[in-house]
Amino acid sequence: MLEVTVGGEPDPATGMVLDLKQLKEILEREVMERMDHRFLNYEVPELAGQIPTCENIAAVIWRLLDPKINSQAGGGRLARVRLWETPDLYVDCYGPREAGDGDRADGAGRAGKDGLAR
């Protein structure tokens, strides 16, 4: 399962940071069409030469989504990509630490039975 968090100031006219219809279209085009039911090692060019760990996949998803979300009207910004590997293991990616420093994927987290991150 993939969770995407968008942050920013809500538009005064709409009350939205980003239109969810636009977000859904971006996710479908940039992630689902590219990665869903694919052999990640061979069919996803962005993962060529990488081991498709949850951390690497989350970082690739960040790089795919960040420019698309940030270019939308309203000023919303990609804040977090959370990729669940199993019902109790996930990885969070918050994007680049510093210019040229690579993506920051925080190691696997663990969620309790109540769904709260630990």
Q: What separation, in Å, do the N-terminal and C-terminal C-alpha atoms of the chain show? A: 18
Structure tokens at 58: 């989350």
Residue type for position 97? R
What does the pLDDT average to over 15-26? Answer: 92
pLDDT at 118: 31
28-38 pLDDT tens trace:
999 999 999 99
Q: Which residues pair with 109 in a beta bridge?
A: 90
Write the CA distances from 111 to 18, 54, 72, 117, integer angstroms: 27, 15, 32, 4
Among the ranges given (64-68, 91-95, 101-105), the one the predictor scored with the smallest mean pLDDT: 101-105
Check residue 75 and give its pLDDT: 77
Question: Is the pLDDT score of 107 beyond 70?
Answer: no
pLDDT, position 111: 47
- Domains in the chain: ranges and CATH: 2-110 (3.30.479.10)
Strand 2-7 to 89-96 pairing: unpaired
pLDDT at 78 over 90: yes
DSSP label at residue 53: -
pTM for this prediction: 0.81
The residue among 74 and 85 whose pLDDT is bigger is 85
